């Protein structure tokens, strides 16, 4: 029996109640456990109810949504909302753009990450401390919104796809986390051994370090991908062209500004259009969150590890 | 090749010249060249660009040949009482409020989860509470607007069915801060709790047993075992977030702004965006941004210093 369950049993929480081991479960302990469980159940309800409400609404009829008859289960189930979503060219374009931006950013970020983290994890690199300082200073002080905008502008990236890829190609935080991972997981002797066989840094990085650090690279790819999927700020700053808009900026028009554009043009009746507009918002929210939710099981396996690595002091 | 050089150092070659060092590790330094150039262009060049805060910038003249004007732009907002009474006040109130809420709730959640014996219940709560973290800000605010909508929102349906009158949550500036902060807690508490849960699982069970034998009840164990265990983690995260206390994230608050709540929702980041990019007052908004960065940086150094004095935990 493990230590943990022994401690629980000592405290009467173990499975073996029949043998009368409830020695110490005082009233204050019982009250405390009731408080703890109530708190957690409330937390669970508070998180789940809004999510279920959105999901249920998105599968209901527009009448039911507008009348507020939906709670946690679809009323008059229909796919009206989803049909309207797929009629919207802007939304689909936004989807494709975001997929492209996310993939491009993941690839570029991983390359930059390896190029920065691997050398900085090397034990005997004499000047690395200056470079570490150069990198980490940027975490605490930055030029700010306008000077960054001016730099991007003077590089001629405004209103091009480059503005969505290059400025987000590297995250110092990720570099530091990955470097810590390299330092603690890849023994230095491995490099000595390879270098005796005539292996240089590039070959070693590609043939030894990358295969050995797949978990952390997966975490980083997920971090970057989700970050790009969910952000709209750089697009708001750097893009004016509708054709290049990422998903989140299109969502902003639909969900926040209430601009459903061409989606509902064929609906003539004003009343019906307003009802459909409400429904449409729910379906849009669900559709746009599906990709991230689909990778959620994988994420949640690695993410916890990633957060853990990140918690180590650099 | 390279390891031949490595071994020759031991037999007395000149080992400390920069040329020797770079030659020995030329591949590693070549790799570093790419990120270093990148950081210089995209992080340090903007830092130089901050100089336009002291100039009258115009696109026609460019950064270098725009005329210097000294502290003019700083005087413009620091001399304006409205800046302190609204913008700075809003920024600090919102971020201090959300700092405490986001500090306390995840800790309580982690401590509570740590007490749960039923593994399935524990896992379920843990997994469900960090789903919202993966929802984008846009969808999140979209949900908020729908849920709190005066006519069709779920919350108002519930209020109405309990025989109350509908409340226009987004249309009242007095609700703004609470909605902003608690929706943020809703979104990130589960995720932020992960790190505390992880350090709580590292508690030595012998310490727990010893405290039980000494007659500590559950509350006392939380106070004297659990909390001291996670204190270093709390300290580090506190220092890190205090360094951002003046940064109210742009993305969320910008989406939540409407003409009614602007008096309480206008913060430094949204001001910088509106003044700089919508009204093209580049120099003025850079000055505001720089003021913000400097205050943040000083706060970070001060809190880190204090943390180092009173506890052994600090960033550097």
Q: Which residue of B has its CA nearest to A55?
A: B143
pLDDT at A134: 92
| Distance separating alpha carbons of residues B143 and B187, to the nearest angstrom | 12
pLDDT at A258: 77
pLDDT at A265: 61
Nearest to B238 by CA among B132, B186, B311: B311
Is the CB of residue A169 less than 8 Å away from at least one CB of chain B? Answer: yes
Answer yes or no: pTM beyond 0.90.
no
Q: What does chain A come to in residues?
A: 314
| Distance separating alpha carbons of residues A32 and B221, to the nearest angstrom | 12
Task: Say yes or no to pLDDT of A102 above 90.
Answer: yes
Q: List per-residue pLDDT tens for chain B, 316 residues long.
A: 444 444 444 444 556 688 888 888 889 999 999 999 999 999 999 999 888 989 888 888 888 888 888 888 898 888 888 888 888 999 999 989 998 999 999 999 999 999 888 889 998 998 899 889 889 999 999 999 988 888 778 888 888 888 778 888 888 888 999 999 999 999 999 988 988 888 888 888 888 888 888 888 888 888 888 998 888 888 878 877 777 777 778 889 999 998 888 889 999 889 999 988 888 888 999 999 999 888 888 888 888 888 788 776 666 6
Q: What's the average model confidence in pLDDT over A41-61? A: 92
Kindly give, in sequence order, each residue whose CB lies less than 8 Å from that of residue B110, ignoring residues fewer than 6 positions away: B193, B196, B197, B200, B230
Interface mutation vs chain A, best among B9, B16, B31, most A CBs within 10 Å: B31
Could you say which of B116, B186, B208 has the minimum Cβ distance to residue A46?
A: B186
Average pLDDT, chain A: 83
pLDDT at A12: 46
Q: What's the average model confidence in pLDDT over A161-186? A: 90
Task: Say yes or no to pLDDT of A4 above 60.
Answer: no
DSSP state of A261: G
Nearest to B106 by CA among B197, B178, B181, B180: B197
pLDDT at A303: 63
Residue pair A70/A52 in contact (Cβ under 8 Å)? The answer is no
pLDDT at A204: 92
Q: Could B276 and A281 be called an inter-chain contact, meaning their C-beta atoms sit closer than 8 Å?
A: no
Q: Which CATH class is domain A83-311?
A: mainly alpha
Q: What's the average model confidence in pLDDT over A238-262? A: 85
Task: Say yes or no to pLDDT of A148 above 60.
Answer: yes
When mean pLDDT is compared over A11-15, A45-49, A67-71, A305-309, the highest value belongs to A45-49
Between the alpha carbon of residue A25 and those of residues A2, A16, A203, B115, B118, the distances in Å are 20, 14, 61, 14, 17
pLDDT at A261: 60
Could you say which of A6, A134, A304 has the minimum Cβ distance to residue B36?
A: A134
Instruction: Average the pLDDT over each of A148-152, A235-239, B33-37, B130-134 and give the range with the smallest value.
Output: B130-134
Residue pair B198/A304 in contact (Cβ under 8 Å)? The answer is yes
Q: Could B36 and A36 be called an inter-chain contact, meaning their C-beta atoms sit closer than 8 Å?
A: no
| Distance separating alpha carbons of residues B22 and B31, to the nearest angstrom | 12
| Distance separating alpha carbons of residues B280 and B298, to the nearest angstrom | 29
pLDDT at B113: 92
pLDDT top residue among A45 and B82: A45
Phi and psi, residue A198, nearest 5°: 90, 20
pLDDT at B40: 95
Task: Say yes or no to pLDDT of A219 above 90.
Answer: no
Fold of B72-310: MetI-like fold (1.10.3720)
Task: Say yes or no to pLDDT of A18 above 60.
Answer: no
pLDDT at A268: 63
Q: Which of residues 72-111 of A touch B (CB under 8 A)?
A: none
Task: Say yes or no to pLDDT of A76 above 70.
Answer: yes
A24 band by pLDDT with thresholds 50, 70 and 90: low
CA dihedral A191, A194, A198, A201 (to 10 degrees): -40
pLDDT at A307: 57
Q: Could B143 and A28 be called an inter-chain contact, meaning their C-beta atoms sit closer than 8 Å?
A: no
Q: What is the ipTM of this complex?
A: 0.83
**A238 interaction partners in chain B (CB closer than 8 Å):** none
Give the number of beta-carbon pairs within 8 Å between A and B: 284
Could you say which of B42, B194, B219 has the minimum Cβ distance to residue A307?
A: B194
pLDDT at A139: 83
**A251 interaction partners in chain B (CB closer than 8 Å):** 136, 138-139, 142
Q: In the structure encoding, which two tokens stand for residue B46, read together?
A: 């903007």
CA dihedral B215, B204, A14, B111 (to 10 degrees): 80
Q: What does chain B come to in residues?
A: 316
pLDDT at A39: 93
Could you say which of A47, A68, A140 has the minimum Cβ distance to residue B129?
A: A47
pLDDT at A15: 46
Interface mutation vs chain B, best among A144, A158, A199, A250, most B CBs within 10 Å: A144
Task: Say yes or no to pLDDT of A140 above 50.
Answer: yes
Domain limits, chain A = 3-58, 83-311
Domain limits, chain B = 2-54, 72-310
DSSP per residue over B31-76, as a string?
HHHHHHHHHIIIIIHHHHHGGGGGB---TTTHHHHSPB-TTHHHHH
| Distance separating alpha carbons of residues B260 and B238, to the nearest angstrom | 33
Q: Which residue of A has its CA nearest to B30?
A: A115
pLDDT at A263: 60
Please tell me the distance in Å from B98's CA to the nearest CA on chain A: 18
């Amino acid at each position: 029996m493990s230590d943990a369950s022994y401690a629980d049993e000592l405290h009467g929480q173990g499975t073996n109640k029949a043998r009368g081991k409830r020695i110490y479960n005082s009233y204050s302990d019982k009250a405390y456990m009731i408080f703890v469980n109530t708190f957690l159940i409330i937390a669970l309800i508070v998180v789940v109810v809004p999510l279920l409400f959105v999901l249920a609404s998105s599968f209901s009829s527009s009448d039911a949504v507008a009348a507020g008859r939906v709670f946690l289960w679809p009323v008059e189930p229909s796919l009206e909302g989803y049909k309207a979503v797929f009629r919207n060219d802007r939304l689909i374009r936004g989807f494709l753009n975001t997929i492209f931006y996310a993939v491009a950013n993941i690839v570029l970020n991983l390359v930059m990450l390896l190029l920065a983290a691997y050398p900085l994890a090397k034990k005997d690199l004499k000047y690395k401390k200056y470079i570490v300082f150069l990198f980490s200073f940027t975490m605490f002080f930055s030029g700010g919104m306008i000077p960054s905008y001016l730099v991007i502008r003077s590089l001629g990236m405004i209103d091009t796809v480059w503005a969505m890829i290059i400025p987000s190609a590297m995250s110092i935080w990720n570099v530091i986390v990955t470097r810590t991972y390299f330092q603690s997981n890849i023994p230095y002797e491995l490099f000595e051994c390879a270098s005796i066989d005539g292996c240089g840094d590039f070959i070693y990085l590609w043939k030894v370090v990358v295969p050995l650090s797949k978990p952390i690279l997966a975490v980083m790819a997920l971090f970057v991908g989700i970050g790009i999927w969910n952000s709209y700020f750089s697009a708001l700053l750097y893009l004016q062209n509708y054709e290049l808009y990422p998903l989140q900026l299109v969502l902003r028009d639909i969900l926040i500004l209430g601009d459903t554009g061409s989606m509902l043009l064929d609906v003539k009746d004003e009343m019906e259009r307003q009802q459909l507009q409400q429904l449409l918002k729910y379906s849009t929210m669900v559709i746009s969150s599906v990709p991230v939710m689909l990778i959620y099981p994988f994420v949640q396996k690695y993410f916890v590890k990633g957060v853990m690595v990140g918690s180590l002091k650099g | 090749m390279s390891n031949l050089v490595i071994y020759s150092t031991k037999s007395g070659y000149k080992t400390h010249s920069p040329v020797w060092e770079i030659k020995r590790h030329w591949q590693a330094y070549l790799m570093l060249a790419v990120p270093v150039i990148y950081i210089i262009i995209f992080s340090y060049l903007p830092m130089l660009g901050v100089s336009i805060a002291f100039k009258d910038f115009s696109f026609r003249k460019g950064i270098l040949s725009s005329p210097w004007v000294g502290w003019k732009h700083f005087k413009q907002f620091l001399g304006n009482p409205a800046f302190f009474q609204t913008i700075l006040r809003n920024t600090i109130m919102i971020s201090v409020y959300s700092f405490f809420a986001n500090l306390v709730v995840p800790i309580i959640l982690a401590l509570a989860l740590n007490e749960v014996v039923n593994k399935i219940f524990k896992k379920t709560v843990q997994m469900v509470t960090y789903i919202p973290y993966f929802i984008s800000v846009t969808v999140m605010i979209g949900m908020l607007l729908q849920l709190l909508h005066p006519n069709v929102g779920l919350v108002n349906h519930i209020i109405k069915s309990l025989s109350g009158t509908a409340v226009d949550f987004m249309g009242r500036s007095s609700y703004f801060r609470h909605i902003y902060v608690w929706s943020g807690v809703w979104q990130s508490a589960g995720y932020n709790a992960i790190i505390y849960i992880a350090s709580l699982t590292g508690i030595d069970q012998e310490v727990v047993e010893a405290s039980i034998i000494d007659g500590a009840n559950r509350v006392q164990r939380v106070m004297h075992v659990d909390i001291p265990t996670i204190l270093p983690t709390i300290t580090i995260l506190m220092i890190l977030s205090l360094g951002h206390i003046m940064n109210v994230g742009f993305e969320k608050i910008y989406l939540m702004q409407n003409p009614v709540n602007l008096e309480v929702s206008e913060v430094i980041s949204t001001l910088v965006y509106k003044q700089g990019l919508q009204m093209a007052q580049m120099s003025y908004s850079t000055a505001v941004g720089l003021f913000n960065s400097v205050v943040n940086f000083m706060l970070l150094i001060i809190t880190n210093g204090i943390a180092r004095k009173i506890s052994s935990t600090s960033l550097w």
